[in-house]
Amino acid sequence: MSTVISMRNANKRYPQFGLENLNLELESGEILGLVGVNGAGKSTTLRILMGLIEIDSGEVEVFGQAMPKAQVAVKQNIGFASDDMRLYKQKTLGWHMQLIRASYRQWDDKYATHLLQRFKLKPEQLVKGLSHGQRVKACLLLLLARRPPLLILDEPTTGLDPVARLDILEELAEILRDENRSVLFSSHNTQDIEKLSDRIMFLHEGRVIASKDKDSFIDDWRSVRCSGNIDPDKICIPGITRVKKNGSLIDITVQGYREDFNEVLRAQKLEIIHVSRLTLEEIFIANIRREMMQ
């Protein structure tokens, strides 16, 4: 596996916000999901990788080339889409396809036709007549049909209704399975990230607060529901991030869960009702809360 993206100690300062010592690596064939609330720095990070924003300090390389210096050559190999990207509404999808075909030597006509059928789009459709979901699909078609080895998708499902979102995620998951390409995509929707990613990175206020492969993330966290009359502050097991008491019920959120924790809790006169895994959204919230408490 080769390194496709390498970002080392990247800093970017704005008056109200900044990225701090951001480190990010993406290997060939890997799908990395960036999760963060609005304003966490996801879009800024992706735009830095596209060579659209220059960092104040640090190093950014994509395909081994320094950004933004090599942005023209590197962008030949990146398919980029963002939620704020719009096509020319007075023109047809076919007109946009012609424009992209002229701009990229790797444009694949056969694949474009295949994607048109798959996304149920027609080249003669005017962009202004497309629904939001169709516009997102049109953007994906335009970037996928040139078969870029790296996809950078900034909140591709934002603003879509649940049906269109699921539709696009399913299409995307299938396409990504078919292809040997690296993908970096951001979302504040953890379900989207969970569905597509191999590895997940949580961003908060311009810093990486956690980064792991998806399975380890999910496996690492548990919610333990117990009952007992004990002061929640006195519960002592390593990795506790939150204890919530509701009557005699106590919910403990714990990172780095091990089977022997149950014995430790029982020793503290707590009866374990059940132990469950957390969803990625719950893990994300737990991370943010821990970060805010620090």
Partner 1 sequence: MKFDTGMIGILVMKDWSLMNKYILVYASGIIFSLIVLAIPSSASFYMGSILLLTINITIGFHSISSSIIGEKKENTVPFIMSLPISPTDYAVAKVLSNLGLFLLPWLATFLGLTALFTLTKMPMGILPFYYLICFQLLLNYVLVLGVSLILESEGWMIFTMVIVNLLLNVVIMQLAQLPEFNAHFSSNTFDWPNLATYICLAQVLISAIVLAMALVKQSLRRTFI
249-255: strand order across its sheet: 240-246, 249-255, 221-227, 271-277
Assigned token pair, 272: 């374990």
Binding residues vs partner 1 (CB under 8 A): 47, 50-54, 68-69, 71-73, 75-76, 78, 80-82, 84-91, 95, 99, 102-104, 139, 143
Tell me the closest approach of the beta carbon of residue 45 to partner 1, in angstroms: 13
- 240 phi/psi in degrees, rounded to 5: -65, 130
Q: How far is the CB of 78 from partner 1 (least distance, A)?
A: 8
Q: Kindly tell me which of 104 and 261 has the beta carbon lying closer to partner 1.
A: 104
Residue-wise burial string across 90-113, b where 16 or more C-beta atoms lie within 10 A, e elsewhere: eebbeebbeeebeebeebeeebbe
Measured from the CB of residue 136, what is the shortest distance to partner 1 in angstroms? 13
CB of 108 to partner 1, least distance (A): 17
**What gap in Å lies between CA 146 and CA 40, rounded to an integer?**
30
The DSSP secondary structure of 210-227, one letter per residue, reads: EEEEHHHHHHHEEEEEEE
Tell me the closest approach of the beta carbon of residue 86 to partner 1, in angstroms.
Answer: 4
The DSSP result for 23-87, as a single string, is EEEEETT-EEEEE--TTSSHHHHHHHHTTSS--SEEEEEETTEETTTTHHHHHTTEEEEETT---
Q: Is residue 21 a contact partner of residue 11, using CB atoms and an 8 Å limit? A: yes
DSSP code of 160? -
Q: Looking at beta carbons only, is 104 or 202 nearer to partner 1? A: 104
Tell me whether residue 103 or residue 248 sits nearer to partner 1 (CB atom): 103
Q: Taking Cα atoms as reference points, which of 184, 185, 203 lies closest to residue 4?
A: 184
What backbone torsions phi and psi does residue 27 show, to the nearest 5 degrees? -90, 160
Q: In the complex with partner 1, which residue's Cβ is closer, 51 or 133?
A: 51
Which of residues 47 and 225 has its CB atom nearest to partner 1 in the complex?
47
Q: Shortest approach of partner 1 to residue 142 CB, angstroms?
A: 8
Q: What is the largest CA-CA distance in the chain?
A: 71
> Which one, 129 or 232, has the nearer CB to partner 1?
129
Nearer to partner 1, 87 or 288 (CB): 87
CB 60 → partner 1: shortest distance, Å? 11
